[in-house]
C-alpha cells in the first residue's frame, strides 16, 4: 500500500484540479473557505494520515475556522478515500470534517478505506460510519482494504449503513471463509451487482500444525476456483440457488475474485 509522504504539501492537485489529497494532521493550518474553493473543482478526495499520533491532542475538537461557508456545494465530488493509519476513527475532528463534505456533495457515490493494520480495524470503520449513517444513502460503491473480520456482524451492519450499495470491493483475510463471505454479501446487500474480493494468502511465519491443515484446504480450494470459478461458486455458495433466469458471471485471477450479478 502506498502511503503519501509526510513531506507532501497540505493539498496537492494536478492541472485539472480533479484530485485532492489532504494530510489530516495538517488541516488545522488552513481554513474552511480555502478548502471549499478547491473542493468546488474536485472529483476525488483522499484523506491520509502517515503516522501514529496522539488522537486526543489532534482529533478531540473541530476548530470553527474549518467549517465551510454555508452556500458552498461540491457537485463534482464522486469519491472519498481514507488512507494510512488511524488509531481511532470515531473522533470529533474526522467525523465532523467528513460529514460536512458528504452533506455538500450530492453526487458522492464512493467511499474507500485503505488502512494500515490496527487491531479490529473493521470495527473502527463501523465506529466511524455510524454517526454518518443518515448521509450515506447515496453511496453506491465501497472499497475496504484493511485487516479484520469480514463476518456476519460486520457485513450486516455495513449493508445497513450503505442501503444503496451496488459494488463492494473488499480484502478478505486468510482465516475468513470465502464462500461464507460471498453468501453474507448476497443475503445482506439487496442491490449488489458487483462483488470484488482480494483473498489473502496465509502468512509464511505461521507454522503451527493446524495452520498446515488450513493451508492444504486453502490450496485445494484455490485450485478448484482457478479451474472453474463459476462451477465452484455454484457448488459452494447461494449463487447455485439463484433462479435460472438470473445469470451471474465470475472470474478469478491470482488472488482476485470478481463476481457480476
DSSP 26: T
Provide the pLDDT for residue 73. 96
Half-sphere exposure of 246 (CA within 13 A, CB side): 10
How far is the C-alpha of 89 from the C-alpha of 132, rounded, in Å?
12
Cell numbers linked to 104: 455538500
The C-alpha atoms of residue 234 and residue 236 are separated, in whole angstroms, by 6
pLDDT at 7: 34
Alpha helices in the chain (DSSP H): 32-39, 55-59, 92-103, 121-129, 152-161, 178-188, 209-227, 229-236
Q: Which three cell numbers stand for residue 163?
A: 442501503
pLDDT at 221: 81
Q: Quote the pTM value.
A: 0.86
The C-alpha atoms of residue 104 and residue 68 are separated, in whole angstroms, by 9
pLDDT at position 26 is 85
Predicted local distance difference test score (pLDDT) of residue 188: 97
pLDDT at site 69: 94
Q: How far is CA 123 from the centre of its chain?
A: 12
CB burial of 145-156 (b: ≥16 within 10 Å; e: otherwise) equals ebebebeeebbe
Residues 6+ apart with CB under 8 A from 5: 50
Rounded to an integer, what distance in angstroms lies between the CA atom of residue 39 and that of residue 28? 16
> Where exactly are the structural domains of the chain?
11-260
Closest CA to 101 of 43, 18, 142: 43
* One pLDDT digit (tens) per residue for the chain, 261 residues: 443 333 333 444 344 557 999 998 888 889 999 999 999 999 999 999 876 555 566 678 898 999 999 999 999 999 999 998 877 777 889 899 999 999 999 999 999 999 887 667 899 899 999 999 999 999 999 999 988 889 999 999 999 999 999 999 999 988 888 999 999 999 999 999 999 999 988 766 666 666 767 777 777 788 888 899 999 999 999 999 875 566 899 999 999 999 999
Classified as helix, coil or strand, 232 is helix
The CATH number given to 11-260 is 3.80.10
**pLDDT computed for residue 12 by the predictor:** 43
Contact between 193 and 165 under an 8 Å Cβ cutoff? The reply is no
Amino acid at each position: 500500500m502506498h502511503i503519501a509522504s509526510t513531506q507532501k504539501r497540505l493539498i496537492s492537485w494536478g492541472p485539472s484540479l480533479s484530485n485532492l489529497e489532504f494530510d489530516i494532521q495538517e488541516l488545522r493550518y488552513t481554513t474552511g473557505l480555502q478548502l471549499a474553493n478547491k473542493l468546488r473543482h474536485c472529483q476525488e478526495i483522499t484523506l491520509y494520515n502517515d503516522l501514529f499520533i496522539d488522537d486526543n491532542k489532534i482529533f478531540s475538537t473541530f476548530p470553527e475556522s474549518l467549517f465551510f461557508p454555508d452556500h458552498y456545494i461540491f457537485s463534482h465530488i464522486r469519491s472519498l478515500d481514507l488512507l494510512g493509519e488511524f488509531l481511532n476513527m470515531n473522533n470529533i475532528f474526522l467525523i465532523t470534517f467528513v460529514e460536512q463534505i458528504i452533506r455538500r456533495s450530492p453526487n458522492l457515490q464512493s467511499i474507500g478505506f485503505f488502512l494500515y493494520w490496527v487491531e479490529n480495524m473493521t470495527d473502527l470503520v463501523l465506529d466511524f460510519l455510524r454517526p454518518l449513517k443518515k448521509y450515506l444513502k447515496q453511496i453506491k460503491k465501497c472499497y475496504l482494504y484493511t485487516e479484520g473480520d469480514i463476518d456476519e456482524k460486520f457485513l450486516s451492519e455495513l449493508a445497513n449503513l450503505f442501503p444503496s450499495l451496488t459494488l463492494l470491493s473488499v480484502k478478505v483475510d486468510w482465516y475468513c471463509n470465502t464462500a461464507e463471505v460471498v453468501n453474507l454479501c448476497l443475503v445482506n446487500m439487496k442491490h449488489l451487482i458487483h462483488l470484488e474480493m482480494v483473498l489473502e494468502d496465509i502468512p509464511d511465519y505461521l507454522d503451527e500444525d493446524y495452520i498446515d491443515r488450513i493451508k492444504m484446504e486453502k490450496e485445494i480450494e484455490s485450485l478448484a476456483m482457478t479451474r472453474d470459478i463459476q462451477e465452484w461458486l455454484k457448488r459452494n455458495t447461494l449463487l447455485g440457488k439463484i433462479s435460472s433466469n438470473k445469470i451471474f458471471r465470475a472470474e478469478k485471477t491470482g488472488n482476485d475474485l470478481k463476481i457480476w450479478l
